[in-house]
Amino acid sequence: MRRSVLLGTGSALPERAVSNLELAEQVDTSDEWIVERTGIRNRHIAGEGETTGSLAVAAARQALAAAGIEAKAIDLIIVATATPDQTFPATATSVQHMLGCNGGIAFDVAAVCSGFLYALGVADSMLRTGMATRALVIGAETFSRILDWEDRATCVLFGDGAGAIVLEARNSDDADAPGVLVTKLHADGAYNELLYVDGGPATTGTVGKLRMKGREVFRHAVTNLSDVLRETLDEAGIEVSDLDWLVPHQANGRILDATARKLRMAPEKVVVTVDRHANTSAASVPLALDAAVRDGRIKPGQLIMLEAMGGGFTWGASLIRV
Ligand code: UT7
């Protein structure tokens, strides 16, 4: 039995932190509204010289250090992002070059807020089939650069950052051995117009700005997330109570609460970082994962569940023994 084992995690945030109060000086909003409707108190915004690629490299270096692995040992890099440094080449290729591990496989995955789950699913498949041995899976975003800063309904919700993990393919006969156990991914393109960017190279020739019908996305998020969590638990043949931690996409504190309630999951088992980072799209799950590993909540041997939902719609979940 070949499994993709999590060896280390890392993260990076832009230097500049922006509070709700600071935002309220620029747009017609308030700290009270943002905290009550979303749970967000703070986000980090990329400054000059900070890009999706530079944040991805910083997170990757931390993950490599935590794993005790040299960059040269990595033969697969997947960067999940909707805000690449350039339309092409893939940000993953510049990350590879900046890390100095040229020659292996490197590409980006575009599944917006579910991007990290999609990248994890692809990396796990490639490791288990022997196409690669050691992978860096990174979620990295600079959403501040595709926000309409005059649209208060969206600009207060997002932040920038990156999170990374190192996975290694290992063989074991032990059913309880660490590794990615089950990953379930879905997409439904019928919902494109509820969450999208109004530009692109093949349409407007511009990058475009993020547009979202928040209330409708919210409704779908709770249903899709609880369904895919249930599907993943069922495939693994386990109960919610067997999970040590749920590490969800951090879009809105109320979505986290509603999903946990629907699953009857104890709220203290849910990792929450939305207050500190806001919604960092593909970076949000690995940022939350790294926070809970570094503060000692997630420990070796535990069972954790990752989940996310975003534009497309796309959504997914992954069960991992750490
Ligand atoms: O990561 C991808 C997935 N994305 C998500 O999961 C996001 C899902 N959606 C949400 O998190 C929530 O729907 C929002 C946080 C976006 C909005 O919360 P809501 O409770 O659904 O509010 P709403 O959009 O229905 O707006 C309620 C009111 C409106 O005013 P009226 O029409 O009731 O007078 C808005 O104009 O709040 C107003 N409003 C604001 N007020 C102050 C909207 N944005 C703001 C703001 N500050 N920033």
Q: Where are the domains of the chain?
A: 2-171, 179-321
Same fold, 2-171 and 179-321: yes
Give residue-wise pLDDT tens across range 38-62.
999 999 999 999 999 999 999 999 9
Grade residue 249 by pLDDT with cuts at 50, 70 and 90. very high
CATH number of 2-171: 3.40.47.10
Tokens of 253: 């504190």
Neighbour count for residue 201 (Cβ, 10 Å): 11
Active site residues: 113, 249, 279
Distances in Å between the Cα of 147 and the Cα atoms of 83, 150, 160, 191 are: 11, 9, 11, 20
Which residue has a Cα nearest atom 39 of ligand 1? 153
Burial class (CB in 10 A: 0-12, 13-18, 19+), 296: exposed
Sheet holding 179-187, edge to edge: 179-187, 314-321, 303-310, 245-248
Rounded Cα gap, residues 272 and 95, in angstroms: 28
Give residue-wise pLDDT tens across range 277-316.
999 999 999 999 999 999 999 999 999 999 999 999 999 9
Radius of gyration of the chain, Cα coordinates, nearest whole angstrom: 18
Give residue-wise pLDDT tens across range 149-208.
999 999 999 999 999 999 999 999 998 999 999 999 999 999 999 999 999 999 999 999
Ligand 1 centroid from CA 113, angstroms = 18
- Cβ atoms of residues 51 and 142 within 8 Å: yes
What residue ranges in 111-259 does DSSP mark as E strands? Answer: 134-142, 160-171, 179-187, 195-197, 210-212, 245-248
The answer for residues whose C-beta is within 8 angstroms of residue 227's C-beta and 6 or more apart is none
Class of domain 179-321: alpha beta
172 phi/psi in degrees, rounded to 5: -160, 150
pTM for the whole structure: 0.98
The residues lining ligand 1, judged by C-beta closer than 6 Å to any ligand atom, are 29, 33, 37-38, 113, 152-153, 156-157, 214-215, 217-218, 221, 251-252, 255, 279, 310
Question: Span 118-132, mean pLDDT?
Answer: 98
Q: What percent of the chain has pLDDT over 70?
A: 100
User: What pLDDT is stored for residue 68 in this prediction?
Assistant: 98
User: What pLDDT is stored for residue 297 in this prediction?
Assistant: 98
User: What pLDDT is stored for residue 225 in this prediction?
Assistant: 97
**One-letter amino acid of 41:** R
